[in-house]
Structure 1
Amino acid sequence: MARWRREKETMKGGEQLASRRRQVCCATGYFSGADYADYTDSLFQQCVRSVVDKKYPRNPRLKRNRMQLLILLLLLLLLTSCERRPLVDPESSVNYAEVVVEFDWELAGMSPTGMTAIFYPTDGGTPLVHKTGDLVSTVRLREGTYHVVGFNYSFDEFDGILFRGTDRYETIEAYATPQKDVTTRGGTQVTGVTAHPDILAVDRIGNFEVTAEMVRQTTEQVRSRQTRGTVTLANADTRSAARVVLTPMRAVAPGYVKVHLKGLNYVRSARGVITGLSGSYFLGEGKASPESCAMVFDFGSPTYNEGSKLDGTVEGSFTTFGLLPEDAATRGQARYGLLFSATLVDKEQTSFEPYFDVTDLIRQEVDVNLNILLRLDIEIGEVDVPEVKPDDEGAFDVNVGDWGEEENVYL
């Protein structure tokens, strides 16, 4: 009601002001005819606006608020009219190729729960380390040429192996974990001692090329997945993708030592030290290194010859990267030795420590087709054990006493 009254007063005031102005214009003869009618309408609107502005002046804050509201409405309109796009534009190209990595462990005769493939760019770029627990997995590679190395488990999952030179294909090396030097009961100092290396199986592929065509195919696959919805690499169709197949073979082989003893009944316990074998293996080159080492091992329970209570054999075992590589410079120079350290059954526990050059006694079992070492065998003929007077605890003890605490020395 109050609003209606204000509007009525405004209209009345406008009419009065317009009437006075028309009287002035008519008295002076300024208008005539149709022009007067048009002017009357315009004059009436101006007068009404003048009265409104005087009675109800405009608020500048209200004007700003109206402008802000208008801007918000425009933004809301723009947002609601936008079309949601996928996270990756289907029309854009990716800069990588999806490559399937497949491991086949049949030749290695093992089923590891983890495996590693390393892709080394031939241009010297940073290598890509791909760890997986699946026999078939997928890796993304940029266009280029790569050398590939694959092996069981990963760098930090071995007990007796460490790795160095991993930044280059030519220098990646697995080496037996160094141990503290030891001194035998007989006083022999043994240096360069290492742990027994774990079983390591390796394969390598040189100059694997990721082409521009592979990248283009991956781009098409990505667009197809976006069209169909989310597709994980696990269930994606990889039958037409580029593929790297790694078939690792063992780079570490078992070694066995058998010693024939005359007077075995005088031996309380025995340990062995094998020296001169390779202490590391180059994964990229696929060969043992010329760096030698020494490994300590125990001999197990004795086996007496049939019908004898005096003579028999003891056997021990170890693992190794194999013999030193023989090239033109080192051929015939490698020497391998075996220290047999026995504690006898007398009360004084006398030490018996003969040393044998076993260079010509080592027998290698090699798979000629695969060119891999299967096992080493060393057999030493009759060794005369000194005769001693047994004490009450003269039986052979397979739990050999320590030569001193061993500790890992990490290079």
Structure 2
Amino acid sequence: MTPKTAFLLRIEKTIRYLVSNGLTKQIIMILIKIKHLLFASGNMLLLWVFYNFTFFMLVACSHREQVYSLETEIMISADWSRSGLNEKEQDYGATTVFYPTDGSSPIMVLMGDRTYKTVYLKEGRYDVVLFNRSFDDFGNLGFRGEDAYRTLEAHATNVVTKDVPSTEIIIMDSPDELAADCMESFEVTPGMSGNYSSGMTNWGGKKIDGSKNGCQLCFLPQKLTQKITVKIRIKGMNNIRNATCKLDGIAESVFLASGQISEKTVAQEFCLGNPVYNSGSATDGTLSASISVFGFDTEISHNLHLRAELVDGKTTFEESFDDLKISQLEEGDGRMSIFIDMTCEKKVPNVKVEGSSGFDANVDDWEDEVNSDIDI
């Protein structure tokens, strides 16, 4: 056997090994054709380069097989039907974070399609959190405590601190809507890999499905933010140019793992709108607004302060409401929303119009006037 023939046989052996390790038939046929062309040319240098190339592929396939043998394929599946999020949220994807219980660094998985994602995990035990969007994809919502499962916390970012008359933290804009689900002490074992097939098992209220190629984790995210609707009946509403409210007793943040709100409370400021005049009246009516909050304890007393700028451009109207009457309304999907309904005791004074006439029905900047009967 000549050295040239022996070298050719070594290449042939390498290619056959690649076939046994799963390289596609089409690629193998191309390699064989290249081998024959190089042999026919008699160029030993090119044959040597080709041999090293195929040997490198052999090593790579062997290394890949070794790496994957240490990991288990996990399918993340999320059903968002009970999250209460609008349809546009699906364009932002989702994030899953695996927190190893041994204290090592968390593993973050970005999901372009928020309904499923395949990942590979090493053996171990994990606490898992899944939520909509990503850590950096919200407008008025931030995170802290990301390094640990129990401390992962969402909070509003558009916040100011006022020192007069006393120190007060105020959320200036509603936080973005947030939905999440979690799973604790999920264990990845060697038995999950390969042809793993077992019956569906309950795991902390979630489902872990055995599948042919690994394991499927099923999440059912639910909203962690809450809706509050405020409605104020005002005499002399036509004299108001714009109005804002400040509501106290708002939870500062929420923990994703437990869904528990923080013990610390702050105030939240918001603008009133949606003017609705009473039937047959051009002066009296209601203003309202809906806001999103992390949490609102209905068992404690809450206060609200109304401040309005009048149409003369210089007069302000203010009224405070103590110990608010709060109602809870069940929405169609089972979630509870908060409804606060009140009536101003004072009448807004009549002032001379300067520029925009505020909530008057003739103002083009506001939506069409709606006349309706208001139940007192």
1:202 aligns with 2:133: no
Deviating runs (4+, > 4 A) in structure 1? 72-82, 90-93, 187-190, 237-240, 366-370, 397-400
Normalised to the residue count of structure 2, the TM-score between the two structures is 0.69
1:365 aligns with 2:365: no
Partner of 1:276: 249
Q: For 2:332 and 2:277, how far apart are their aligned partners in 1? A: 36
Structure 2 residues not aligned, in runs of 5+ = 19-57, 197-209, 367-376
1:123 aligns with 2:123: no
1:213 aligns with 2:191: yes
Is contact 1:266-1:385 (8 Å) kept?
no
**1:92-171 alignment, distance < 5 Å:** 92=66, 94-110=69-85, 111=87, 112-113=90-91, 114-134=93-113, 135-171=115-151
Is contact 2:161-2:169 (8 Å) kept?
yes
CA RMSD, 1 decimal: 3.4
Q: For 2:276 and 2:65, how far apart are their aligned partners in 1? A: 76
Partner of 2:238: 265
1:293 aligns with 2:266: yes
> Which is strand-richer, 1 or 2?
2
Partner of 1:389: 351
Given the superposition, is the C-alpha separation of residues 122 and 348 from structure 1 closer, same or farther in structure 2, using an over 3 Å criterion? closer
Q: For 1:125 and 1:366, how far apart are their aligned partners in 2? A: 42
| Higher mean C-alpha deviation, range 141-150 or range 291-300 | 291-300
Is contact 1:181-1:189 (8 Å) kept?
no
Q: Deviations over 1:276-330 (max 9, x none)?
A: 2112110011121122222221111422211223321111221111215x9xxxx
Given the superposition, is the C-alpha separation of residues 214 and 350 from structure 1 closer, same or farther in structure 2, using an over 3 Å criterion? same
Partner of 1:336: 302
Given the superposition, is the C-alpha separation of residues 127 and 367 from structure 1 closer, same or farther in structure 2, using an over 3 Å criterion? farther
Structure 1 residues not aligned, in runs of 5+ = 1-69, 219-236, 327-331, 401-411
Given candidates 295, 314, 338, the residue that maps to 1:349 is: 314
- SS of match in other structure, 2:70: coil
Given the superposition, is the C-alpha separation of residues 368 and 311 from structure 1 closer, same or farther in structure 2, using an over 3 Å criterion? closer
Aligned length: 298
User: Larger C-alpha radius of gyration, 1 or 2?
Assistant: 1
Is contact 1:178-1:192 (8 Å) kept?
no
Partner of 2:203: none
- SS of match in other structure, 2:248: strand
Q: Deviations over 1:325-383 (max 9, x none)?
A: x9xxxxx6x442211001223x462112212224x42223357996xx53221111243
| Residue type of the alignment partner of 1:363 | S
User: Identity over the aligned pairs, expressed in percent?
Assistant: 31
Given candidates 83, 89, 105, the residue that maps to 2:14 is: 83
Given candidates 247, 253, 257, the residue that maps to 2:220 is: 247
Is contact 2:255-2:262 (8 Å) kept?
yes
